[in-house]
Chains A and B, each alone.
Chain A
Amino acid sequence: MQDRFLSYALLVPAFVIVVATTIYPLAYSFITSFREWDLTRQRTPDDFVGLQNYAHAVAETGFQNSLWVTVIFVVASVVLTLVLAMSLALLLRRRGPLHTFTRIILILPFAMSPALIGVSYRFMFNPEFGVLAVGLGSIFPGLKGTPWLADPDLAMAVLVVTDVWHWTPYMTFMCLGGLASIPRETEEAARIDGASGFRVIWEIVLPQMKGVLLVTAILKTIFALKMFDQVVTLTGGGPGTSTETLAYFVFNVGFKWYDMGYASALAWILTLIMMVISAWYVRMLLSDKNTATA
């Protein structure tokens, strides 16, 4: 009996920390999402208003806009990151000093803070003195003086580029790991059976990578849905609201306008979206018998 008591006692610190930092805030924000609470007027939450906050979100253009912005951002960054990561992994999987060196330095972008990436890219895309903006302008004269961050579509493109730049290395490592687990004989057998290099990759390698690519896609989607840091430091959600992602919108509602009830409801909508997407991915992953190797 004493052992049992001890084992519970040892669990208490971890349990307390998780409850205090995760469970309690989650539950609190969930309850708050059904209440009216303007932080500029009162220090404690006001009356319960039922689903009013959620109804407000669905009707409000600010939310609709941020949802649309988020969808575009997620699709663009997930697709680009995965395609690039898989391609790089295919190039880098061979052994050799150059390959190893490249694999090592590849980690650098991932080691950088997202907020700093935003600041750096804002400098680099400054139309007058930014190295990328000027560089692109001198290679393609038509792009000279392009106001990269002042144009809604271009600002979104730059935001996607920073995120893809940040995440591709990590995802490349995941793909390299997946590639390493594919039995070499399957590729060799296909080459002998008469497959061209492209068909070996398309018909033999990629199908065997399905499981890894799905996991990579889940992770990247969740990270992209939370996109916040670079929005703050690169575009500030602008020009206008053209790069205002859901996470950034929630932050504005909560900590600029102090509408805590509404912000909590928005945060929970974002959480629900993530849960639905993750559940869908996991179902795909589990239902896929092909990922089991022979």
Chain B
Amino acid sequence: MTEVRLVDIEKRYGGFLALPKQSLTIEAGEFLVLLGPSGCGKTTTMRMIAGLEDITSGDVLIDNDRVNDKPPKDRDIAMVFQNYGLYPHMTVAQNIGYPLKLRGISKAECTARVLEIAEKVELEELLKRRPSELSGGQRQRVALARAIIRTPKIFLMDEPLSNLDAKLRVTMRAELKHLHHELGVTTIYVTHDQMEAMTLATRIAVMREGRIVQLDTPKKIYSEPVDLFVAGFIGSPSMNLIKGEVENGFFVAKGVKIPVQFSDRCDVVLGVRPEDLEIVERQRANIMAPVYALELTGDATLVTIKDGATSICVRGPADFEANIDEVCHIAPRKPEKLHLFDKSTGERLNS
């Protein structure tokens, strides 16, 4: 299994600094997800590992071997592209077998391997078709088959599921996860979908404006976001972020008064996830505001309450009923699920 290390890598386009100095170690056999909004540099980082993009400074090490000056073909990697990157003039079988053909493997062995892999991804019926005759999900599987046919050192996946419809995306996600478990190949995966990141990753690197803001397990990133950006980016519906201040052991904002263990301070943001709040009777309430909207998701009802600028979403029971503008009473379930952030720097205050 292969370890990938990025040491102080930097990328500039002319005068524009796309990626400031950055280091990252991807452990052997890990499924690392680079997560961030578009333009945050996650794809550039991956393309530098692949060798498709020059590195302005710093080193990329694959198994302690500096590969900066090696062309992509000598790095022993496989990549799945967002638009699949299939060869339109070749059949499915030729597409899958191309990496083997390039390595001078005999035709007979190549055919056998292609058939074996095609069965694995359920493409054996389509081997003679051309990519233009396939659906999106089928194309995706061809791209995957082409990547796994020669068991490379590293898999790189650049938003491989983003062109699929929602249902297929969930199915393919499970297939990818199973495949990683089965092959155990170090995988680097780029996405802007936090759900994909949470479900697939061993570790997630959340990126913003070229920098890795937080690198940790999905669980940790979800439960202890390092700053407001990560807190707001991870989770759906996203974390409630309430602006206010801490006064005599209480976090105070309009309609909100929650006990917190923190010294007095102005300009704080309280973060609390919708599922960490509950609807309670009036006496126990820490938050009180009129109902703004009710959304039934099937297993729960998302209740949004709004008082002035403060808008809070809470995950209530599926059978919860209330009228719009009726006052709703809310309290946090556990005090340790409350996150305090500095309003100006965005940094986490409590740990």
Which of A25-33, A66-74, A181-189 is near enough to bind chain B? A181-189
Q: Mark B80-94, 1 if CB is under 8 A from A, else 0.
A: 011111111100000
Give residues of chain B (220-274) contacting chain A, Cβ–Cβ below 8 Å. Answer: none
A77 at the interface (CB under 8 A from B): no
Listed residue (B84, B88, B102, B156) with the most chain A CB atoms within 10 angstroms of its CB = B88
CB distance from B134 to the nearest CB of A (A): 8
Q: Mark B51-78, 1 if CB is under 8 A from A, else 0.
A: 1100000000000000000011101011
A91 at the interface (CB under 8 A from B): no
- A183–B163 Cα distance when bound, in Å, is 16
Which of these, B50, B82, B131, contacts A192 with CB under 8 Å? B50
Which of these, A186, A193, A194, contacts B88 with CB under 8 Å? A186
A199 at the interface (CB under 8 A from B): yes
Give residues of chain B (109-147) contacting chain A, Cβ–Cβ below 8 Å. Answer: 130-132, 134, 139, 146
Known contacts A192-B73, A196-B73, A293-B132: A186-B103 contact under CB 8 Å: no
Q: Chain B interface residue count: which class?
A: 20 to 34
Q: A193 to chain B: which residues have CB within 8 Å?
A: 73, 78, 98-99, 102, 146
A292 at the interface (CB under 8 A from B): yes
Which of these, B52, B83, B103, contacts A194 with CB under 8 Å? B103
A226 at the interface (CB under 8 A from B): no
Q: B78 to chain A: which residues have CB within 8 Å?
A: 192-193
Q: Mark B32-55, 1 if CB is under 8 A from A, else 0.
A: 000000000000000000111000
- A126–B51 Cα distance when bound, in Å, is 53
| A190 x B87 contact (CB < 8 A) | yes
A17 at the interface (CB under 8 A from B): no
Which of A6-14, A138-146, A159-167, A202-210 is near enough to bind chain B? A202-210
Known contacts A192-B79, A193-B99, A194-B73: A186-B52 contact under CB 8 Å: no
Q: B51 to chain A: which residues have CB within 8 Å?
A: 191-192
Q: Chain A interface residue count: which class?
A: 20 to 34
A4 at the interface (CB under 8 A from B): no
Nearest CB in chain B to that of A289: its residue: B130
Q: Mark A262-289, 1 if CB is under 8 A from B, else 0.
A: 0000000000000000000000000001
Q: B71 to chain A: which residues have CB within 8 Å?
A: 191
Which of these, B75, B102, B132, contacts A195 with CB under 8 Å? B102
Q: A207 to chain B: which residues have CB within 8 Å?
A: 87, 89
| B72 x A191 contact (CB < 8 A) | yes
Query: Which 5 pairs between the two chains have the least Cβ-Cβ distance?
Result: A185-B85, A294-B131, A189-B85, A294-B88, A207-B89
Residues of B that sit less than 8 Å from A by CB: 50-52, 71-73, 75, 77-79, 81-89, 98-99, 102-103, 130-132, 134, 139, 146, 156
Q: List 18 A-B contacts (CB under 8 A).
A: A185-B85, A188-B81, A188-B85, A189-B79, A192-B50, A192-B51, A192-B75, A192-B156, A193-B98, A193-B146, A194-B102, A194-B103, A195-B102, A196-B73, A207-B89, A208-B88, A290-B89, A294-B130
**Can you name 18 extra interface pairs (CB under 8 A) apart from A185-B81, A186-B88?**
A185-B83, A185-B84, A188-B72, A188-B79, A192-B78, A193-B98, A193-B99, A193-B102, A195-B73, A208-B88, A290-B89, A292-B130, A293-B88, A293-B132, A294-B86, A294-B87, A294-B130, A294-B132
